[in-house]
Structure 1
Amino acid sequence: MSSTDDAAQASAEETKRKFREALERKKQRAQGGEDHLDSTGSVRQTQGKAPSQRQFRRKSGG
């Protein structure tokens, strides 16, 4: 029985180790830079007034 317990415990330790390594890689990527502050987005300016604003008029007569 102890061999199955040892195998299960070793498997659990291996899983924990993999999760810790993945978390460290994630933290390293997060420290790499502040992407939202480097102004490389595709939007260059805010939306302004439309070039020609549509006018809606009532239909008269008829």
Structure 2
Amino acid sequence: MSDVTPGPEGSESADDELRRRFREALDRKKSAQADAASGGKGKGSSKIHGAHGPVAGKRSFRRKSG
């Protein structure tokens, strides 16, 4: 028996068609991520805001008394 299934591009095996479909989906995903990354809103285009608070002053270390 033959694994060849007729498709719109001609004769492709099921594995080749599956690989082609995954590759197309991956290309669409990468282009969507590239579009989202390039459309930043200036300097602060990161999704992470204020991960670390501002340094108020020098730290003071105290010995544990117990």
Q: Taking structure 2 as the reference length, what is the TM-score of the superposition?
A: 0.51
Report which of the two has the higher share of strand: 2
Please say if 1:25 is aligned against 2:26: no
Q: 2:44 aligns with which of 33, 38, 45?
A: 38
Report the CA distance shift for 1:19/1:48 in structure 2 as closer, same or farther (over 3 A).
same
Any gaps of 5 or more consecutive residues in structure 2?
6-11
Any gaps of 5 or more consecutive residues in structure 1?
57-62
Deviation at 1:15?
A: 0.6
Q: Deviations over 1:1-27 (max 9, x none)?
A: 242662111111001000000000010
Specify which structure has the bigger relative contact order, considering alpha-carbon pairs within 8 angstroms and separated by 6 or more residues.
Answer: 2
RMSD value, Cα: 3.3
- 2:56 is aligned to 48
Post-superposition, which runs of at least 4 consecutive aligned residues in structure 1 deviate over 2 A?
A: 53-56
Report which of the two has the higher share of helix: 1
Percentage identity across paired residues of the two chains: 12
Q: Which amino acid aligns with 2:27?
A: R
